[in-house]
Amino acid sequence: MRYRTIGSDPATRREVSVLALGAMLFGSLTDEKTSFAVLDRYVEAGGNFIDTSDNYAFWTDGGQGGQSEELLGRWRRSRGIGDEIVIATKLGARPLAPGTSFTDNPEGLSAQVIREASERSRERLGVERIDLLYAHIEDRGVEPRETVEAFAGLVAEGSVALLGVSNHAVWRVERARALATAAGLPGYEVLQYHHSLLRPRADVPSGLFPEGGLGAATGELLSYLGAEPGLTLVAYSPLLGGGYGRSDKPVPSDYDHPGTAARMAVLREVAKESGATLNQVVLAWQIGADLPVIPLAGASSVAQLEENLAAVDLELTPDQRTRLDEAH
């Protein structure tokens, strides 16, 4: 395994594996035995960066989520896991009532929600301190200063180490970080957005984020990442839910444009040259990027995890990387 640093403060920064494990469906669609097996193998391989959220996976049973955090808590206790494993979670998108969704009834990012939701997450995970806590989705009904100060308060009291943000417009990320800097408070240091080799159409709103598809890592966000050396991008859904290699999992419709065919053609060439799978090339392309990108990939079986783990040691040549970057 290889590692990179997230965070800038020596007191809270962590060395995390360059491949993060998504635990979204653990404890719901992925049963406990399989989830534990995947987690055990990931840690055995040197992985130490696991991602979840307080609302995972509310859509599987019409509830409010929490199954993934609860499973990770049981796994930690059963394995005697301590702070050697970095667990990231998110708040703000938990439905306020069963049978509703974060798109129309989210908990939001008020100071009260941030405190209460973080306490519930710590209880489910069985930790005294959350290693990395994200603001999951935007809440434009709350003043940014309130959210910034509430997150900073958790860091000050020691119940959270690092702060992150996901699925926000870049200008709102910058505004929040500027507020934190001006007040001498800790701010967002990790960005989590959807990012992959294929690029979605910018003019087609995402189904989950209708207002311009705020979940995607746009060119503007990548430019911002390059201009702010203290930031790290955690790239969720890098494998498009199986869209690169499974005939039963087509690439989403917002990728239906000429650039997709061109990039897929180069991806297949590089995979053949490397003796690797398409998924492995995509992950290796992200891991070896000039920008600090950590792919976040889920796995519903040990076999899927093994394929992903092999990407860590796949070295693309400069020529292969250039061809992948420039295909359009």
Radius of gyration of the chain (CA): 19
Percent of the chain exceeding pLDDT 90 equals 88
DSSP element (H, E) containing 172: helix 170-183
The closest of 78, 80, 20 to 50, measured between CA atoms, is 20
Distant-in-sequence, close-in-space partners of 123: CB < 8 Å, separation ≥ 6:
none
Note whether residue 238 is domain-resident: yes
Q: Would the pLDDT of 54 be above 70?
A: yes
Find out whether 176 and 140 touch, Cβ atoms under 8 Å.
no
CATH number at residue 123: 3.20.20.100
pLDDT in tens, 2-21: 999 999 999 999 999 999 99
pLDDT in tens, 111-170: 999 999 999 999 999 999 999 999 999 999 999 999 999 999 999 999 999 999 999 999
Note whether residue 73 is domain-resident: yes
Distance CA 254, CA 227 (A): 28
Q: Count the domains in the chain.
A: 1
pTM: 0.96
**Environment class of residue 263 by beta-carbon count within 10 Å: exposed (0-12), middle (13-18) or buried (19+)?**
buried
pLDDT in tens, 94-119: 999 999 998 889 999 999 999 999 99
Note whether residue 162 is domain-resident: yes
Note whether residue 198 is domain-resident: yes
* pLDDT value of position 253: 84
Distant-in-sequence, close-in-space partners of 17: CB < 8 Å, separation ≥ 6:
1, 2, 3, 46, 47, 48, 49, 312
Note whether residue 274 is domain-resident: no
Helix (H, G, I), strand (E, B) or coil at 301: coil
* pLDDT value of position 214: 66
pLDDT in tens, 196-251: 999 988 776 654 554 545 688 999 999 999 999 999 999 999 999 999 988 888 88
CB 105: neighbour CB atoms within 10 A?
13
Note whether residue 306 is domain-resident: yes
Note whether residue 88 is domain-resident: yes
- Domain of residue 75, residue span: 3-256+279-315
- Rounded to 10 degrees, the C-alpha dihedral 139/142/145/149 comes to -80
Note whether residue 320 is domain-resident: no
pLDDT in tens, 235-293: 999 999 999 988 888 888 888 899 999 999 999 999 999 999 999 999 999 999 999 99
Phi-psi region of 131 (alpha: psi -120 to 50; beta: other; left: phi over 0): alpha
Distant-in-sequence, close-in-space partners of 173: CB < 8 Å, separation ≥ 6:
165, 188, 191, 224
* pLDDT value of position 212: 46
Find out whether 21 and 71 touch, Cβ atoms under 8 Å.
no
